[in-house]
Structure 1
Amino acid sequence: MADSAQRILADVGAGRRLDADGAAILAAAPEPGSILATAEALTLAGHGTAVGWSRKVFIPLTRLCRNRCAYCTFAETPRGAHHAYLSPDQALAIARSGALSGCREALLTLGEKPELRHPAAREALAALGFASTVEYVAAIARRIFDETGLMPHLNPGTLSADEIAQLRPVAASMGLMLESTATRLGERGGAHWKCPDKHPDVRLATLRAAGEQAVATTSGILVGIGETRLERIDALLALRDLHDRHGHIQEIIVQNFRAKPRTAMANSPEPTLAEHQWTIAIARLIFGPEMSIQAPPNLRAGELDALIRAGVNDWGGVSPVTPDHVNPEAVWPQIATLRRATEAAGRELVERLALGPGFAREAARWTAPDIARAILRHTDAAGFARDDDWHAGSGAPLPPLSRSSADARTPANPVLDLIDRASAGHALSEDAVITLFEARGSDYAAVIDAADRLRAATLGEGVSFVTNCNINYTNICQHRCGFCAFAKGRSAESLRGPAYVLSADEVGRRALEARGRGATEVCLQGGIHPAYTGQSYLDIVAAVRAAVPDMHIHAFSPLEIRHGAATLGLSPAAFLRRLRDAGLGSLPGTAAEVLDDEVRAQLCPDKLTTDEWLSIVRAAHEVGVPTTSTIMFGHVDTPRHWARHLLKLRQLQRDTGGITEFVPLPFVHMESPLWHKGRSRSGPSAREAVLMHAVARLALHPLIPNIQTSWVKMGPGGAAQCLQAGANDLGGTLMYESITRAAGGLNGQEMDSAGMNHIATGIGRPLWRRTTLYQRADAPRDMPSAACPVQPACVG
């Protein structure tokens, strides 16, 4: 028996599915230690160190129920109930108190179909103006979402397909515990005697209908109500079968029975901690690493470490406002207490929404458009709740860069191992880079500290910048990138100004003005004007060269290169040679967005593909034109896409050596069409924005030594934090910068050397002025700091 169990566990650990026969062998195995260890390893593989929870408010809409469960104290009779239903005002008052306390979820829980049993329920519904409990739930959920912003999670019991369709538009998610598939529990004396809605077939039918309508659903089993281990396994396998067909089970709750006074099961034995652990572990083995497994923390106070060791990765909803009305004897833990207990177990407590992280990343699939929009705006790239109110380009300060958690808990060994490999210059795998991007708590502090140390060891303490002038020569563009608020059609009107085209002479004049103010570089980029040809770009370069012969011309994204080459019937390499010979010094590595076609299909489907971008940048390097490289992140992307982007850049740099720097550009959402349509997040969180700089330092080492932070998008304070997290460069002074402003950013259009110096010296680092190619530049004479004119002349 022991040998068979070990073989089964080895197979499951290697990715093989646990079937009923294998689970039955494990049910009889005398030693649970290996079962728990395998379950914990699978949990770490699927969820890392994150343990989720949702800050919720508990709204018991009605305590009347047509079932008579032998263990329940939630349900009341009409005689005992103060009111058959909460009134709309009562329900909304509870919701508002939750919103004021920072809750994001409204859990509507209630008895099942009380109107089928209690005349008082029917009368109360009629007085409220509703024909059914489900209809009332739908109306209250809609008002809660519209009036408080809380996301409804609905637990109305068993439902028909029509009832699910009625609730789906107002639900972030729904819940229905299967509890058990043991039909004998419905016999006289059983836990489900006189409970028509607890028959397994009825509950499975509801769960199946929810899957057919793409409703993200929480389900699970109740442990210790008279069922056997094999019956628990049967219930878990039934849930897995449904999830295999529809993919809609967002979480499995493995809840331990609690004996309650004044119930038929008041004297029944509760499951031991060991038995609860075994059941959690078998659920993890059955469902594998990706499924979210929950155990309510208030039902095992003081024993949370044991639940984590068994495979738990989520504590479910915890309310700072309302009690657990289903288990009133079990007080919710204080959030600070829950955090300490979670961290003591070597994990990080991470807040989520009513829609779990994996489902939140696909909110449009699982929820109605207005709820999907709200979910996207409140989540980070991993699908958890945003943990700060900072937004790129907003001008708001970042939360303080705290490393104190590094002293409180040793980081997970895999993170330290990855840091060591990266710092030694070894290429990391895609999964390894994702692990670094998902770092939180002490792991986050370790990544930030390691990136900062690596920056210092590689480049020293200096902070570099270039005096440059951005000239966006036209904002008319034939492409329609979903994220872009800069580009316009020729006659388009905009909150940020009209469409325009600068003549070549005007570009030359601005370059001359920039030289007079100490600039060593002009950065030239614009929309893809339908009337432009390759000669247009050559004329722009010629105008700058004629006006300022020694000015470094940093110009034209790979998209502009493709457009110009095509109009002249040239290959990108041939066109780049002509530009080089005309005076082009380097190419901005923009238009990269995220180098993954899955993302680009949503952001910019008519733009360059990933391979086209890489091919044009490679061609630039091969003809002797160096480039920068960028990423624009925080919209529809995930850490996996970021990892792929960095690894593609690393490989390109290994092949060509032509990239001078890497520039993270956090998505500025305020004026983005994609965001206004509810199809993107609200930019990266502060943690993600800082991590992008740190992980880039590690993942690109030693091939791309310079990591630039964008003061325009991060703000001066944010840029200072990034300089302490692996970045070494502040970019340019950016006279005339307009793209970020068009997107709704509020940071200034220009920063002089004094402003740059204030950032660097504020963190105790010296500032030095560089050229585009990172050579030392002569110190300029004092120049006026007044910004260039904001609006270019409109000639189009």
Structure 2
Amino acid sequence: MMKAAMSSPVSQILKKIEYSADAAQPRLNQKELAYELEAVQDWRALSDLASAWRDIGWGNNVSYSRKVFIPLTHLCRDVCHYCTFAKAPRVVGPAFLTVEQALEIARAGAAAGCREALFTLGDRPEARYAAAREALQQLGHASTASYVAEVAQRVRAETGLLPHFNMGVLSAAEYQALRPHAPSFGIMLETASERLSERGGPHYGSPDKHPAVRLETMRLAGEAHIPITSGILIGIGETRRERLESLFALRDLHDRYGHLQEVIVQNFRAKAGTKMVNAPEPSMDELCWTTAAARLILGSAMSIQVPPNLFEGDLTDLIRAGINDWGGVSPITPDHVNPEAPWPHLERLSDVTARGGKVLVERLTVYPQYIDARDQWVDPGLHRDLLLHSDCGGLARTDGKWIAGSSTATDISSLQMQTTIPNADSISPQTIDIVNKCLSGDRLEEADLVHLFKVRGNDFAYVTQTANRLRQETNGDNITYVVNRNINYTNVCQYHCNFCAFSKGRVEESLREKPYIVELDEIRRRVREAWDRGATEVCLQGGIHPDYTGHTYLDICSAAKTECPDIHIHAFSPLEIMHGAQSLGRTVKAFLSDLKKAGLSTLPGTAAEILDDEVRRQICPDKLNTQEWLTVIRTAHELGLRTTATIMFGHVESYRHWAQHILKLIELQRNTRGLTEFVPLPFVHEEAPLFRRNRSHQGPTLREAVLMHTVGRLAFHGLIDNIQTSWVKMGEQGSQLCLQAGVNDLGGTLMNESISRAAGAAHGQELPPAAMAALAAGLGRTAVQRTTLYGRVSIERQQAAQAALPLTPVKYVKAGRLVRGEGHQVLRTVASS
């Protein structure tokens, strides 16, 4: 709502702006309206609209990049009349830093937790100074750009820092040569006014500062698909109209190429020793006016930054004016362009951001949308480093050392779980609206779920604790689990899923386990032992052995059910169902009916990974597609076979893919009501081929893993009552966090879990009832044994589980060709030829 004291003419301007803007991604579309803003004297009249539009695009987060400055050279062929960065050779001494000097700075930055190495240097010094040319020759390079490439490559290889180049004007060939060494570049437009390059202007004598030259350089970056940072410099003699025209020039470029990742609004600071030492500096109110105008012109989706070290006033004013980013902040090096203005300490910046009603978050040098679309925007050689540094939302990975499958007891310390719901005044209205949609059962959109996956700070506490309250209302305070046994009857698989370290080829022995099969007699023995140890369920899954047919799955199911008629057979992923049906020339429905007659009770909803074919083409290109997975599950439900639903997340996908996956499950459940539980499975990366080939994240962050469970509770409210956490992947402490954020179930005791352990998880094998009880007691809750379908378990089964003897060592047979006898049962294997 606009301020009551606003003058009528300004109110009319803002109403026209709002009316003409698109609601989803609003921005000021007409230049004539923008020019009317010139008459607005008080920037606060624009702040409500600017803030609202910022919130649409960026929510409650205000970002910064933790970086180190590497001033590779202070030489520059330009003579901007306000600049103290550029110096003559007689002043700077050696023309360039050596590689070792640059590495020394980078190492210090890496040790201080920096992720970005900002290379600052002047425009083409070799075009003006013989000293630069001679120095480059001695370094073995013909140009500054060539030397920058060498130094950046060494910095990235030896410290892991991501380079960002502020090199000024570059040619198309230079962009192509430098693109493999930095995921993002920067070049300030400063102004689109040619007047300021004329005699007496601040850019007179600076050929690289001519607006046409700068804009052409930015155009070339767009042609090269390079994300760039640009911006305007205010207070150097330009008019308000010229600032607005500069912002429109930047917007026009971005509309054409989509490569402008952020726009900086920077205020001129008068510096001793320059021609403009006595020039008046712009007021902080004028800076806020320009910032608000930039937000309205560039819209909700553009990142707008104002450097905090150049602002002399209350930094929360900049938040009110519409910024979403503080830019790069270095804990160890000064701002070499503005050395008189020290960086604010990050603790102070965090406090200021919180006082402005926002959460300070760390980003990388390249923005999330470009990491998400990295195949288009970032050189493939840089993908590994981007994925290692970033979470699945494209921001910096800041959850300490926690990784899925880790057993380190202190891993969860990075995430502070608040156990009460914060005051509504401290939560973004958008978050409250989306949560209310979940609670009322309204239809959710992709953007709603993406927003929930992004929440931090008080918004994070609000959604996790609302989900936990919902869990208590739906399930009470008991924590349920099932005593079961996993029987992975073969790890041989004819598919080549890039995330899987469990499945093997017939002769592959490079990872944790050799190729094996489990024969029927051993399956029977394991089923009987599980029953004797109190199990009510056996979970049967395996790789797709090339010799397996639908008869194999029928035999396995029959053997288990015959051995223990009362045990629940929870078996066969949708991939196994489809393979079995196709191998026999049967429909999925007919084959599922056969399995049901053989004793199948329910299906695990595994092999879902991410229900998005864009992702599946990267992680499991030869596996069943999204529609095929949904068809198998839907058909099972039609036959009265209930299933679980899983998501395997934290590899190559982004939040929008998570959202699409959940929306597909919501639609399925609305139609069938056959899903018993939602089971998030964080990607365990250590031995996964995808990670070993430098093509994936190292799993989700702890915050993301907890949020997947929380969002599941909220999104499936009224549709799926049970949200399960995988203690194998989350660990016991991570599972406790999830149990405080909407989860009611710990899954199975497992007995012989092997799939996650093959991928590198330290947990697994078994978490017996006593350990389940201890885990629940640590939260002041009670662990209760359940059946697969969440029914009550007999006292006899509970007592058997509590008194279980140690497991007998399992038996495997080295994989080979299968030989079948009468009735299709596996009699033995013979060695592969």
User: How far apart, CA to CA, are the structure 1 residues paired with 2:522 and 2:739?
Assistant: 36
Deviation at 1:783? 3.9
1:700 aligns with 2:716: yes
**Superposed displacement of residue 17, structure 1:** 5.5
Given the two structures, how large is their TM-score scaled by the length of structure 1? 0.97
Give the Å deviation of 1:591.
Answer: 0.9
Aligned counterpart, 1:534? 550
Compute the displacement of 1:231 (Å): 1.7
Structure 1 residues 253 and 791: CA distance shift in structure 2, 3 A: farther
Q: Which residues of 2 match residues 715-754 of structure 1 at below 5 A?
A: 715-754=731-770
Instruction: Give deviations 1:247-304, integer Å, cap 9, x for gaps.
Output: 2211111111111122111111222223222222222223222211111111114432
- Find the counterpart in structure 2 of residue 776 from structure 1: 792
Give yes or no for the alignment of 1:655 onto 2:674: no
Who is 1:144 aligned against? 155
Q: Would the alpha carbon gap of residues 406 and 766 (structure 1) be closer, same or farther in structure 2, given more than 3 Å must change?
A: closer
Distance 2:206 2:186 in 1: 18
Deviation at 1:630, TM superposition (A): 0.7
Q: Work out whether residues 27 and 299 of structure 2, in 8 Å CA contact, stay in contact via their aligned partners in 1.
A: no
Counterpart secondary structure, 2:21: helix
Report Cα offsets for 1:214-240 as digits up to 9, x if no partner.
221111111111112222222222222
Letter in 1 for 2:540: L
1:416-474 Cα distance to aligned partner (Å, 9 max, x none): 33334423444433322222211101110111111111111111111111111101111
Q: Distance in 2 between matches of 1:30 and 1:110?
A: 37
Quick check: 2:729–2:761 contact (8 Å CA) kept in 1? yes
Kindly report which structure 2 residues correspond to 1:260-299, keeping only aligned pairs within 5 A, or say none.
260-299=271-310
CA shift digits 1:622-657 (9 cap, x unpaired): 111111111111112222222222222222222222
AA matched with 1:780? Q
**1:198-597 alignment, distance < 5 Å:** 198-388=209-399, 389-397=401-409, 398-400=411-413, 401-404=415-418, 410-597=426-613
Give unmatched runs, 5+ long, in structure 2: 1-8, 817-833
Residues 662-718 of structure 1: CA deviation (Å, up to 9, x unaligned)? 111001111112222222211100000011111111111122111111000001111
Greater Cα offset, 115-124 or 423-432: 423-432
* Structure 1 residues 143-170: Cα deviation after superposition (integer angstroms, max 9, x where no partner): 1111111111111111111222221111
**1:291 partner amino acid:** M
Whether the 8 Å CA contact 1:423–1:701 is kept in 2: the answer is yes
User: Is 1:11 aligned to residue 20 of structure 2?
Assistant: yes
Residue among 625, 649, 652 paired with 2:641: 625
Kindly provide the amino acid, as one letter, of the partner of residue 552 in structure 2.
Answer: S
TM-score (norm 2): 0.92
Could you tell me how far apart the structure 2 residues matched to 1:790 and 1:61 are?
A: 62
- Give the AA of the match of 2:705: A
Contact 1:406 1:443 in 2 (8 A): no
> Is the contact between residue 361 and residue 376 of structure 1 (CA under 8 Å) also seen in structure 2?
no
CA distance in 1, matches of 2:175, 2:434: 46
| Aligned counterpart, 1:794 | 814
For residues 791 and 85 of structure 1, do their structure 2 counterparts lie closer, same or farther at Cα, with a shift above 3 Å needed?
farther
In structure 2, what is the Cα distance between the partners aligned to 1:643 and 1:161? Answer: 38
Shift of 1:608: 2.1
Q: SS at the partner of 2:66? A: strand
Aligned positions of 1:661-672 closer than 5 A: 661-672=677-688
Shift in alpha-carbon separation, 1:26–1:772, aligned structure 2, 3 A: same
Deviation at 1:785, TM superposition (A): 5.6
User: 1:173-224 CA deviation, whole Å, 9 max, x = no partner?
Assistant: 1111011111111111111011111111211221111111122111111111
Q: How does 1:151-190 map to 2 (within 5 A)?
A: 151-190=162-201
Counterpart in the other structure of 2:819: none
Find the aligned partners of 2:97 and 2:579 in 1 and give their Cα distance: 63
Taking the aligned partners of 2:13 and 2:67, their CA distance within structure 1 comes to 44
Tell me the distance in 1 between the aligned counterparts of 2:13 and 2:332: 49
Give how far 1:65 is off. Answer: 1.1
> Residue by residue, what CA displacement relative to the aligned partner does 1:546-603 show, whole Å, maximum 9, x if unpaired?
1111111000111111111222222212211111111111000111111222222222
Question: Structure 1 residue 128 and structure 2 residue 139: aligned?
Answer: yes
One-letter amino acid of the structure 1 residue matched with residue 767 of structure 2: M
> 1:101 corresponds to which residue?
112
CA distance in 1, matches of 2:313, 2:803: 65
The whole-number CA distance in structure 2 between the counterparts of 1:579 and 1:224 is 77
Aligned to 1:26: 37
Match of 2:823 in 1: none
**Structure 1 residue identity aligned to 2:751:** M
Q: Percent identity?
A: 55
Q: Could you tell me whether the CA contact under 8 Å between 1:217 and 1:251 is conserved in 2?
A: yes
SS at match of 1:464: strand
In the other structure, the counterpart of 1:196 is 207
- Partners in 2 of 1:289 and 1:413 — Cα distance? 16
Post-superposition shift, 1:112? 1.2
1:149 and 1:756 map into 2 onto residues whose CA distance is: 41
Q: CA deviation at 1:748?
A: 2.8
Counterpart for residue 636 of structure 1:
652
1:787 CA displacement: 4.7
SS in 1 for 2:279: coil
Provide the residue aligned with 2:829 in structure 1: none
441 and 195 in structure 1: CA distance in 2 versus 1, 3 angstrom threshold = same
Distance 1:787 1:370, change over 3 A: farther
CA RMSD of aligned residues (A): 1.9
Secondary structure at the counterpart of residue 349 of structure 1: strand
Deviates more, 1:512-521 or 1:343-352: 512-521
Tell me how far apart the structure 1 counterparts of residues 811 and 300 of structure 2 sit (CA, whole Å).
54
User: Which segment drifts farther, 167-176 or 361-370?
Assistant: 361-370
**Deviation for aligned residue 1:329:** 1.2
Match of 1:83, SS? coil
For 2:719 and 2:437, locate their aligned partners in 1 and report how far apart those are by CA, in whole Å: 14
Of the three residues 758, 761, 771, the one matched with 1:755 is 771
Instruction: Give the equivalent residue in structure 1 for 2:53.
Output: 42
Separation in structure 2 between the aligned mates of residue 135 and residue 596 of structure 1, nearest angstrom? 41
1:668·1:743 contact (CA, 8 Å) conserved in 2?
yes
Counterpart secondary structure, 1:703: coil
Q: Separation in 2 of the partners of 1:212 and 1:459?
A: 55
1:749 touches 1:787 (CA, 8 Å); kept in 2?
A: no
Q: Which residue of 2 aligns with 1:75?
A: 86
Deviates more, 1:55-64 or 1:300-309: 300-309
Q: What is the CA-CA distance between 1:30 and the residue it aligns to? A: 5.7
Deviation readout 1:78-133 (Å, 9 max, x if unpaired): 22224322222221111111111111111110111112222222222233332222
Shifted more, 121-130 versus 12-21: the winner is: 12-21
1:490 maps to a residue whose letter is R
User: Is this contact kept in 2: 1:735–1:788, CA < 8 A?
Assistant: no
